[in-house]
Chain A
Amino acid sequence: MSGGLLLLATLGTSLLTAVLIFLLPERAFRARTGLNLGAALIKLSLVAWMVWGLSRGRGYAVEFPVLEGLAFVLRADALGIMFAGLSSLLWLFTTVYAIGYLEDSPNRKRFFGFFSLCVASTLGISLAGNLFTFLVFYELLTLSTYPLVVHRGTSKALAAGKVYLRFTLTAGLVLMIGMVALHVLAGDIRFGQREILAEFGPEDRLLLVGLFWVLIAGFGVKAALVPLHGWLPRAMVAPAPVSALLHAVAVVKAGAFGIVRLVYDVYGIELSAELGLLYGLVAVASVTILFGSLRALAQQELKPRLAYSTVSQVAYIVLGIGLFGPLGTIAALSHLLHQGLMKITLFFCAGNYAEELGIHRIDELDGAGRRMPLTSLAFSVGALGMIGVPPVVGFLSKWYLGTGAIQAGMPWVIAVLVASSLLNAAYFLPILGRLWFRPGPDHGVGAWPEERCLGRLETHAWLLVPTLATALFSLLAGMLAGMPFSPLEWASRVVNAEYLP
């Protein structure tokens, strides 16, 4: 199969699935499930094929002109395929989870249709070859996520959806203005053509700095940078698989990935450092990390606490970008994957507790470790990873961020990292303590809020298996970090091949 065709096939898999799902009747449960899983598997294998091909030095690109001087470009580079790999892998798990989670609930057709569309746009974002293509899929992502956020249709969900649209559509507008301005200034910049902006003289520097911050403001909404993070905790009313999608796979990651593209592939890390943009990024990220952790500490419910934790953790990626040097870059790129693995595990667990036992508040978790040992084990893995305890992958991110900070000459970042680790411990360890060390209903103290026995295992197998799989992945990706094709190894490869300053 030729390179371009493979790209289009990968993208088309999800798009076609979305169309087919919309065509199927609501009650065609089996066909829809088969279609979903089949498409997820096909896509994963196509992406795996491209990963293999890229490691052998093949190239994958397709483009066609839209207007004079503006082209629609799809291109699989090492960075893009990394993000595509993450989203395809986690999509598979999220699909399995969603099938189990939404069993017997209404409007499943609508849900899975937009779900596929959402993933198609994420894939488009990861494979986009220039800002224009990126923006097209970025907006598509916004629109296709809205029906998922408001899926339940309650007034709270609708309100959250409204907030979500306000934030993201405004950001999309800002982003478009920035993109158009950049286009006027420099023409169609393909990702990787860093020399175009680098050649501008000192008189345009101020404009470039201004445009950079306009674009960051646009991306910062989805990446949930403080003070643009307000929509994320509100969007918690969405069903658990959607939260997982928002936090680990698609939306937040798309914002962070946009910043990665902007800094490394449009401006180039050297120009960004020259213009002093990286200091700003590090400052914004540090504030976000600490603010998110502090706010998480104040939450009494599980999902909002996890949401603020995402605010803080995604800023690690931005922090890594801001650290000029290969180690910081490795930290940023690998944390893109690491955070996804750990956070999706945590959200799956939160969903399992809510589905099986009706638990939403943290103080209801007492003794849940005895009732749901495997889920609680997965949650512990995710939480310890977030704190940065080895051998979970979170430690590797912290390691590279810390050493990268020294390399970039910003030792004070270590203080931010340690403070954030302590805060992470302060809001995750009490949960673990409640899970494992407090007596609960299974020890004869109190009762679960709403217990449903969903299966022969501790909960529905469709819910349990993806949770355990992602937990295992976050553990293995840390323990076997030195193996080829581990997230860390791939990130190092990307950095060594493309972004060594």
Chain B
Amino acid sequence: MSDALFTFALPAALLWPLLLMLWVPLMAALADRGQPRTPLDGLWCSAPLPALALALGVEERSLALDWWLLGGHWALDGTRGPLVAVTALLWLLAGVYARDYLAGEQARAVTGDGAAEARLRRFALLWPLTLSGNLLLLVAEDIASFYLGFAVMTFAAYGLVVHAQTRDARTGGLAYLVMAVLGEGLILAGLLWGAGSAGTTTLGGLREGMLEAPGGVWMGLLLWLGFGVKAGVVGLHLWLPLAHPVAPTPASAVLSGAMIKAGLVGWLVTLPLGETAAGEAFAWLGRAMLVAGLAAAIGAALYGVCQRHPKAVLAYSSVSQMGMVTVLVAMGLVAPALWPALSAAVVLFAAHHALTKGALFLGVGIGEHPPRLPAWLLWTLLALPALSLTGALASGLAGKWAFKAVLDDGGYKVVVTWLSLAAVGTTALMARTLWCQWQGERQAREDGLAPLVSPMPLAWLGALLAALTLPWWLGGELVDRGWPPLAKLPGLLWPLALGLAVSVMAWAVARRRPPRASWRLPPGDLWWPLVSGGQRLRVWGQGSLARLGSAQHAWVAWWVARERDAIRALDGMTRGEGWLRHHAAVLMIGVAVGLALLMLFGMASIGPA
């Protein structure tokens, strides 16, 4: 592709979703009142297509736009290209899926249900907007565009989370928004500090400047935590298990598959990974990240297996998987020499997780509305991405081998062992997900089967296929590690075996002695104590604000009182004047007499002398 064509194609790929977004209200305005409208049409689904085509067709290109914000600089390269391709593909499949998933609402909107129509129109508007933000942040190389894309994606996705407008959806939306705003604040602080120190507007300049700036590691910490909200760093992950289950399934798929990766992309483009000049402070940041990542990877698995909703289990699985990614990113700070090899593994792992988790989420909807397939085939298809996620086959195996080989070569066997333990947790989570789905599916199967050839099952199958075949079509240097030799397979597969054994044991124990209802751990773990703490803080804050207000009133009242005193004093002068006027004659006489006496005595005293 020539430069001139690229100059046109990249903005067009980003603008296309926005144009489709504008198309929705335009069509609604143009259509006759009585005519039913279906905003989610085939054209609407095509929003990510140009970006997908561009990412698959272009190797390395960049674009500078001087007039844009603080100076725009967008690029596609070996890291960004695959991520854009995977992201766009997932959005495309989820969009097609959404068309069918929301068909019930479309039908109700057509028959005149105003609430359903409003919800549907909002979904149709915010979906492409979120997408364009997601794509922009992936291609942005200047800080302002990156932050713009991140913010647009974050805020627009709120509408997708609260789509159902139930109480749970509101809670999920609130958790999402509060954490997101907090994250934006941390990111803004880190970006401003870093960019101000380095005097730069590009992300590359930011990374370099951070190495030399005096408080560089603190900028790194701010950015890590800020993007960590999105990527589900332990402690900041609360919104994930609350928001994912309540969002419509296609939205959960892109939230967990594509948008969560925005946090990872944030780390990749802002942290000085693989810089041997980074110094000891950054290595300590890396160690902190490592510990936090492992805590998330294992803790989320332990908490997640106690969940009852398959999407909540999958959300905890996302936290766990992102914990593993955090560990890999942390290695870029702890052992910078490994990073060149490791970064390819990170991107491959991220791409694998994006599509596989997308397929799993889409599969939840399939379990709820099973298509006309024999049960064994359906369950095999549902289990395939789960197995892939545990690292047992296809893209999962390739991804796991990619980082395991690098870490083994670098002598970080302990980290590998811990990651394998996390994979045991993943296996348990996947078993739990399938078990939850199994329960739901049996119920749904009695209600009747959906036709196979419709957008929803096809999109799910497409996601499945894309996820499993990822190493073959993604190409490039990301997969040059290839496949593990047979001798290495036991080292890669023991977590799966152990996880399965643990799951079966746990199942047997739970079956014999079902846990009491009061033991159930709510999704969102830390959110609930924080909410009650927040309530208390709010009461306190309102009290202190009221005190502040009354202090201000007292201050104003004091001044008003002083003013009144002053006026009273003036009035007193008027009264005094009146009194003087009244008694003027007497006073004058008094003065005259006084003077006369003074003179008299004066004369008398002077006289004899």
Contacts and interface: CB of A to CB of B under 8 A. Distances in A.
A298 B542 contact: yes
Nearest to A426: B181
Interface stretch (A65-73, A119-127, A196-204, A403-411): A403-411
Main secondary structure of the interface of B (DSSP, over half): helix
Main secondary structure of the interface of A (DSSP, over half): helix
Contacts of A297: 545
Contacts of A298: 542, 545-546, 549
Nearest to A445: B115
A402 B151 contact: no
Nearest to B121: A370
Nearest to B154: A389
B97 interface: no
A177 interface: no
Nearest to B215: A411
B68 interface: yes
A443 interface: yes
Nearest to B125: A436
B62 interface: no
B117 to A, nearest CB: 10
Contact of A390 (B69, B546, B548): B69
A415 B545 CA distance: 21
A395 B188 CA distance: 10
B556 A399 contact: no
Contact of A391 (B67, B148, B188): B148
A482 B72 CA distance: 9
Contacts of A402: 188, 192-193, 195-196
Contacts of B186: 418
B115 A439 contact: yes
B578 interface: no
Contacts of A425: 181, 184-185
A273 interface: no
Interface string B173-191: 1000100011011101100
A399 B189 contact: no
B74 interface: no
Contact of B192 (A227, A414, A479, A481): A414
B159 A436 contact: yes
Contacts of B546: 298
B189 A395 contact: no
A406 B545 contact: no
B556 A403 contact: no
B114 A390 contact: no
Interface in A88-114: none
A162 to B, nearest CB: 11
The interface centre, meaning the residue of B148, B186, B197, B556 with most chain A CB atoms within 10 A of its CB, is B148
The interface centre, meaning the residue of B67, B114, B556 with most chain A CB atoms within 10 A of its CB, is B67
A395 B159 contact: no
Contact of A421 (B155, B185, B542, B545): B185
Contacts of A395: 144, 147-148
Interface in A391-449: 391, 395-396, 398-399, 402-407, 411, 414-415, 417-419, 421-422, 425-426, 429, 436-437, 439, 443-444
B69 A388 contact: no
B153 to A, nearest CB: 11
Contacts of A426: 181
A482 B196 contact: no
A466 interface: no
A395 B147 CA distance: 10
A481 B189 contact: no
B188 A429 contact: no
A390 B556 contact: no
Given A298-B542, A403-B196, A406-B192, A437 B162 contact: yes
Interface residues of A, number: 46
- Which of under 10, 10 to 19, 20 to 34, or 35 or more describes the interface residues of B? 35 or more
Interface string A214-226: 0000000000000
A294 B556 CA distance: 19
A483 interface: yes
A480 interface: yes
B148 A443 contact: no
Contact of A480 (B67, B189, B197, B548): B67
B70 interface: yes
Contacts of A268: none
B118 interface: yes
B185 A399 contact: no
A389 B151 contact: yes
A173 to B, nearest CB: 15
B177 A429 contact: yes
A399 B115 contact: no
Interface string B546-564: 1011001001100000000
Contact of A443 (B67, B115, B144, B185): B115
Nearest to B169: A437
Interface in A349-404: 370, 373, 384, 388-391, 395-396, 398-399, 402-404
Contact of B69 (A294, A327, A479): A479
A481 B193 contact: no
Contacts of A227: 555
B185 A418 contact: yes
A426 B147 CA distance: 19
Nearest to B560: A166
Nearest to B173: A437
Contacts of B173: 437
A293 to B, nearest CB: 11
A301 to B, nearest CB: 14
B3 interface: no
B32 interface: no
B69 A391 contact: yes
Given A418-B185, A422-B181, A422-B182, 19 more contacts: A227-B555, A295-B545, A373-B25, A384-B155, A395-B148, A399-B70, A402-B193, A403-B196, A405-B192, A407-B196, A418-B188, A421-B184, A436-B159, A439-B115, A439-B165, A443-B114, A481-B67, A481-B69, A482-B70
6 contacts: A370-B118, A388-B188, A411-B193, A425-B185, A436-B159, A437-B173
